[in-house]
């Protein structure tokens, strides 16, 4: 198999993984502003806005690679909970960060370009930081 064929055969699984993470990034874009509007503490709100801005940035990176690989970004929204307490919301958020990090880690060994490899490294580090932020907020809620 030529390296071109090999890259081509990996495109399907890679597109599937990137689309799986896109669903989660996109779910964040809906659930974070909704929750943020119920938070009065300004510092807490700013931290949630950081997660939101990063989710938008991540979704753009992921979509760019899906299109480059010849795929179509998928937009199905994951359901989001209506009436979580702050702690429940943060725990769920932390699980989402963990899940997204896991998807990016799984995409790493089949990444087809240096650019994707570099982007995945950045995404993994970013989700790790988000996980740590959630952990901190769970320990010291506003
Ligand atoms: Fe994140």
Q: How far is the CA of 92 from the centre of ligand 1 (A)?
A: 12
* Rg (alpha carbons) of the chain, rounded to whole number: 16
The pLDDT score that the predictor gives to residue 82 is 66
H/E stretch holding 4 reads helix 3-36
Average pLDDT over residues 33-53: 93
Average pLDDT over residues 32-55: 93
Q: What is the CATH number of domain 3-71+86-139?
A: 1.20.1260.10
Q: How far is the CA of 6 from the centre of ligand 1 (A)?
A: 31
Looking from the CA of 75 toward its CB, the CA atoms found within 13 Å total: 2
Q: How far is the CA of 70 from the centre of ligand 1 (A)?
A: 25
- Alpha-helical regions (H) of the chain: 3-36, 42-68, 86-107, 114-139
Q: How far is the CA of 126 from the centre of ligand 1 (A)?
A: 6
pTM, two decimals, is 0.89
Percent above pLDDT 70 for the chain: 90
In the chain, where are the structural domains located? 3-71+86-139
Q: How far is the CA of 7 from the centre of ligand 1 (A)?
A: 28
The pLDDT score that the predictor gives to residue 2 is 47
Q: How far is the CA of 118 from the centre of ligand 1 (A)?
A: 17
pLDDT digit string, tens, across residues 52-109:
999 999 999 999 999 999 999 998 776 666 678 899 999 999 999 999 999 999 999 9
The pLDDT score that the predictor gives to residue 1 is 43
């Amino acid at each position: 198999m030529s390296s071109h064929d090999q890259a081509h055969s990996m495109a399907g699984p890679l597109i599937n993984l990137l689309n799986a993470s896109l669903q989660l990034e996109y779910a964040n874009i809906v659930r974070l502003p909704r929750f943020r509007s119920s938070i009065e503490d300004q510092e807490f709100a700013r931290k949630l806005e950081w997660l939101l801005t990063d989710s938008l940035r991540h979704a753009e990176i992921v979509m760019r690679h899906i299109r480059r690989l010849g795929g179509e970004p998928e937009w199905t929204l994951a359901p989001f909970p209506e009436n979580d307490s702050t702690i429940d919301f943060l725990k769920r958020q932390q699980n989402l960060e963990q899940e997204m990090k896991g998807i990016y880690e799984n995409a790493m060994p089949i990444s087809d370009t240096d650019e994707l490899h570099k982007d995945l490294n950045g995404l993994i580090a970013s989700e790790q930081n988000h996980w740590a932020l959630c952990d901190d907020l769970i320990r010291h809620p506003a």
